[in-house]
Amino acid sequence: MTFQGSLLDLGGDSRPGPLAGAVRRTALTEGAWIDVLPGWLTGADALFERLLDAVPWRAERRQMYERVVDVPRLLCFYGEDEPLPDPALDAAKAALDAHYVPELGEPFRTAGLCLYRDGRDSVAWHGDTIGRGSTTDTMVAILSLGSPRSLLLRPRRGGAATVRRDLGHGDLIVMGGSCQRTWEHAVPKTARPAGPRISVQFRPRGVR
């Protein structure tokens, strides 16, 4: 697996920039919204390389109707009390907490990591509804590293156009309000050449 980082971004220092006054909110329908900040994390390419090495990436298999199929991406989940695999992720979580706790009412607690090896890896349409996201407003913050991939969002009940954001290289998206239960999101497969992408999803307690 190879990844060509941008030449300006290979310094070892990886850190999040300011959120206040920088992140841009887009209201969706039914009380859902997204906040987006391109290039939030500087040194994103160096962090990508470190995570590729340091994280014990796992392939999973899941029951799909009658069959057991490979999950089309590699995964690693860090629960509440587990140390994160890189100090830059602690800094990202601290920055998210400082900015969002007044609105969210609680800190982010867990980090789910996904590795999309190439354009054949994907995540199907879903909301993060295992847990409280199915009944209450919440937030899921996603830091994207490596090659950009499209994150799509669409309302469950229709009535609004699909929203697309191309995310990679240190970009942040936060899905908030009712987004997990009234909207769905996906990272579709792509036939275009795509290098590897890592996403880090920060979620509060009881949201999955």
Residue 112 interacts, among ligand AKG, Fe ion, none and using kind-specific CB cut-offs from 5 to 8 Å, with: ligand AKG
Residue 44 interacts, among Fe ion, ligand AKG, none and using kind-specific CB cut-offs from 5 to 8 Å, with: none
Cα separation, 1 vs 175, in Å, equals 30
Task: Give the residue among 47, 21, 26 at the shortest CA–CA distance from 173.
Answer: 26
User: If DSSP codes are grouped into helix, strand and coil, which group holds residue 185?
Assistant: strand
Residue 154 interacts, among ligand AKG, Fe ion, none and using kind-specific CB cut-offs from 5 to 8 Å, with: none
Residue 14 vs 199, nearer CB to ligand AKG:
199
Residue 196 interacts, among ligand AKG, Fe ion, none and using kind-specific CB cut-offs from 5 to 8 Å, with: none
Residue 9 interacts, among Fe ion, ligand AKG, none and using kind-specific CB cut-offs from 5 to 8 Å, with: none
Residues 113-132 that bind Fe ion (CB under 5 A): 128
Count interface residues toward Fe ion (CB under 5 A).
1
Q: 121-158 burial string, b = 16+ CB within 10 Å, else e?
A: bebeeebbeebbbeeebbbbbbbbbbbbbebebbbeee
User: If DSSP codes are grouped into helix, strand and coil, which group holds residue 181?
Assistant: helix
Smallest gap, in angstroms, from Cβ of residue 205 to ligand AKG?
A: 16
Smallest gap, in angstroms, from Cβ of residue 112 to ligand AKG?
A: 5
Smallest gap, in angstroms, from Cβ of residue 33 to ligand AKG?
A: 16
Residue 88 vs 207, nearer CB to ligand AKG:
207
Residue 104 vs 123, nearer CB to ligand AKG:
123
At 208, list the tokens. Answer: 């999955």
**Binding-site ranges for ligand AKG (CB under 6 A):** 112, 114, 123, 128, 142, 151, 185, 187, 199, 201
Task: Give the residue among 185, 147, 165 at the shortest CA–CA distance from 32.
Answer: 185
By the 10 Å C-beta count (0-12 exposed, 13-18 middle, 19+ buried), 160 is classed as: middle
Residue 46 vs 123, nearer CB to Fe ion:
123
84 Cβ contact list (under 8 Å, min separation 6):
78, 90, 93, 111
165 beta partners: 151
Smallest gap, in angstroms, from Cβ of residue 151 to ligand AKG?
A: 5
What residues line the site for Fe ion (CB under 5 A)?
128
